[in-house]
Amino acid sequence: MAFRIQTFEEYQEEYRKSVTDPEAFWEDKAKHFTWRKKWDKVLEWNFTQPSVKWFLGGKLNITENCLDRHLDIHGERTAIIWEPNDTKKDKTRYISYAELHDQVCRFANVLIRNGAKKGDRICIYMPMVPESAVAILACARIGAIHSVVFAGFSAHSLIDRIQDSDCSIVITSDGAFRGAKEIPIKDIVDEAVEVCPSVKKIIVLERTGCNIRLTEGRDLLWKDEMKKVTNQCPATETDSEDMLFILYTSGSTGKPKGVVHTVGGYMVFMAYSFTNVFQYPLEPAHSTRPDIYWCTADIGWVTGHSYIIYGPLLCGATTVMFEGIPTWPDAGRFWEVVDKHQVNIFYTAPTAIRSMEAQGLGYVRPYSLDSLRVLGTVGEPINEEAWQWYYENIGKGKCPIVDTWWQTETGGIMISPLAGITPVKPGFATLPLPGIQPVLVNHDGKEITGNGVEGNLCIRFPWPSVIRTTYGDHERCRQNYFATYKELYFTGDGCRRDENGYYRITGRVDDVINVSGHRIGTAEVENAINQHPDIVESAVVGFPHPIKGQGIYAFVICTNSQHDISLLKEEILAVVNKMIGPIAKPDKIQVVGGLPKTRSGKILRRILKKVAEGETSNLGDTSTLLDPSVVDSIRTGAL
């Protein structure tokens, strides 16, 4: 069977094969790639430890598959189209596969010259510029493990992440442009590395030209280093199960976890899911114009890793990288870029769709959007209204929408329509990709079979890009994903399976809030708020937000009754901004006298959630509370 499915019947047949003989199925897919040495065994696994290994004994380098493999047939094809934040200041850049290969080899040599070697952890804290892709791929080229940190995170968050994996090099830029703002990225890195002794070198790309401090012997300029090296850099051979990257993500406990993905399985699944979900032809013929594909995510999130960089490049695609924001200089920016580059496949987050919907069609009408063929969404449930708006006004009623459900831990898309092949249904991620076996369970872990049911979403069989471990703490990986339900990977999401077997993800069932498609742990925000000297305790919950999907609602207890409330709120926002970053700032803060706790001291979050949702009458059973009167005061003080 070919790599790319072309009809719904083929999908059903492939799905059937992937379940009856997963090893034969994935072995067949893995054959499409360049391996230095073929694997000895396809799969070894158990979900108890857990331990999952794919393509055991196989040797390869993923960048040979992303770059070298394409050079003979279409080295001149554009790999990356870079669209700058401000077109008045900068020009669009078109980077061919040959040029990207050249840059990656050079930068890999820069890393080697600066002491990097296979297995080292390298932190990348950069804006959306092609050099971030170069940095990522250069790490992979030498077998170093990249840990990209979203450049909107604060110095504190950066410290946690650098320290957790002992990064030896940080790659960054002087500053970053975001709409009308200029952010001093290097200053943040400087602040962070003061307490990160593992960092020996900082390599700085000059992007904004702002003033920076360079520390002699430690800080180096990208452009100077690139002059010292050649473009010859043979790829380092890695094992299929060597670590490719670490990506930190929030969970229900305070500290972010370093999700680990390994080389071989991740590669196979990214190419497979990319070509199938978006129906991007694999290595399209020499003569045709390649489809232009644009994913608007940031490379700091998993979507950027898997579907701006690895998936598209593995398939020889042309991938757009956008430095700016959707609402600057105005809310028509996405559509202007779609027309400018004749984008065929457009992949974004529901929150972006809702924010543009709110600005009105005046920003859409000036653009033809004729080039669009496929639309996608990711990161959070899409409400039916936003789905319809996207379908009618952006897709003009002719583009299938692929609502792709997946997670940092799954590496790639798990449940989604295949564009133009799977009949779509608004709000539904529809059906699992071949190789993915979803199960719904009730609270006791009992499987809920049949259709027209709802439960917690688990996966029962490994797929090639399942999380391997959480860096430096395997027990945490077991606890978080494999211990809730025996022999199952637990996603943390609630899910409905309709009468036709279509899946609809209903949102997190744990203490994670999904704000504008960003995962934020309630405990993380509480820890940050509690840094304020006058706050003794806080409890954070999510509430429905018209644009962001969910907003953050914080209940705080203040020791100082003299404190001016609006000043206190501002200070809390500043603390959260400093400890985590702007994305975690609460939308609402309510000062309360006490929190609803059980006699054993556990906060009853369901009560707070109801208050945050605006429900003040029916709060459910409050009889188990230590002090039920707390609830009345919270209710009357609700915002």
- Residues contributing to the site for ligand WTA (CB under 6 A): 249, 301-303, 378-381, 403-408, 429, 491-493, 505, 508, 514, 519
Q: Are strands 93-96 and 292-295 parallel, antiparallel or unpaired?
A: unpaired
Measured from the CB of residue 408, what is the shortest distance to ligand WTA in angstroms? 3
Tokens of 411: 């590496």
Classify residue 76 as left (phi > 0), alpha (psi -120 to 50) or beta. Answer: alpha
Q: At what angle do helices 605-612 and 629-636 cross, to 10 degrees?
A: 20
Measured from the CB of residue 404, what is the shortest distance to ligand WTA in angstroms? 5
Tokens of 261: 């993905």
Cα 320 to its chain centre, rounded Å, is: 17
Q: Of 582 and 637, which CB lies nearer to ligand WTA in the complex structure?
A: 582
Looking at residue 517, its amino acid is: G
Q: Of 61 and 491, which CB lies nearer to ligand WTA in the complex structure?
A: 491
CA angle 452, 454, 459 (to 5 degrees): 110
Check if the beta carbon of residue 454 is closer than 8 Å to that of residue 446.
no
Check if the beta carbon of residue 487 is closer than 8 Å to that of residue 460.
yes
User: Helix or strand or coil: residue 41?
Assistant: strand
Measured from the CB of residue 142, what is the shortest distance to ligand WTA in angstroms? 27
Measured from the CB of residue 349, what is the shortest distance to ligand WTA in angstroms? 9
Q: Where are the beta strands (DSSP E) in 240-317?
A: 243-249, 257-262, 292-295
Measured from the CB of residue 582, what is the shortest distance to ligand WTA in angstroms? 17
Q: Of 222 and 391, which CB lies nearer to ligand WTA in the complex structure?
A: 391
Q: Of 160 and 403, which CB lies nearer to ligand WTA in the complex structure?
A: 403
CA separation for the pair 211, 187 (Å, rounded): 10
Check if the beta carbon of residue 164 is closer than 8 Å to that of residue 127.
no
Measured from the CB of residue 4, what is the shortest distance to ligand WTA in angstroms? 22
Measured from the CB of residue 417, what is the shortest distance to ligand WTA in angstroms? 11
Contact partners, residue 309, CB within 8 Å, separation at least 6: 66, 133, 136, 137, 299, 319
Q: Of 300 and 434, which CB lies nearer to ligand WTA in the complex structure?
A: 300
DSSP state of 480: I
Tokens of 598: 């059980």
Measured from the CB of residue 504, what is the shortest distance to ligand WTA in angstroms? 8
DSSP state of 556: E
Tokens of 392: 């009618």
Q: Of 143 and 312, which CB lies nearer to ligand WTA in the complex structure?
A: 312
Measured from the CB of residue 350, what is the shortest distance to ligand WTA in angstroms? 8
Q: Of 219 and 380, which CB lies nearer to ligand WTA in the complex structure?
A: 380
Determine phi and psi for 592, rounding to 5 degrees.
Answer: -125, 160
CA separation for the pair 50, 310 (Å, rounded): 26
Q: Of 140 and 378, which CB lies nearer to ligand WTA in the complex structure?
A: 378
Q: Of 63 and 303, which CB lies nearer to ligand WTA in the complex structure?
A: 303
CA separation for the pair 81, 240 (Å, rounded): 30
Q: Of 50 and 494, which CB lies nearer to ligand WTA in the complex structure?
A: 494
Measured from the CB of residue 561, what is the shortest distance to ligand WTA in angstroms? 39
User: Helix or strand or coil: residue 501?
Assistant: coil
**Residue count (the chain):** 639
Q: Where are the beta strands (DSSP E) in 214-330?
A: 219-221, 238-239, 243-249, 257-262, 292-295, 318-322
User: Helix or strand or coil: residue 613?
Assistant: coil
CA separation for the pair 42, 549 (Å, rounded): 40
Alpha-carbon distances of 603 from 70, 197, 405, 595, 609, rounded to whole Å: 56, 38, 31, 7, 11
Q: Of 220 and 386, which CB lies nearer to ligand WTA in the complex structure?
A: 386
Based on DSSP, count helices (H) and strands (E) in the chain, helices before strands: 20, 30
CA separation for the pair 9, 26 (Å, rounded): 19
Measured from the CB of residue 259, what is the shortest distance to ligand WTA in angstroms? 8
Measured from the CB of residue 5, what is the shortest distance to ligand WTA in angstroms? 20
Measured from the CB of residue 625, what is the shortest distance to ligand WTA in angstroms? 30
Measured from the CB of residue 133, what is the shortest distance to ligand WTA in angstroms? 19
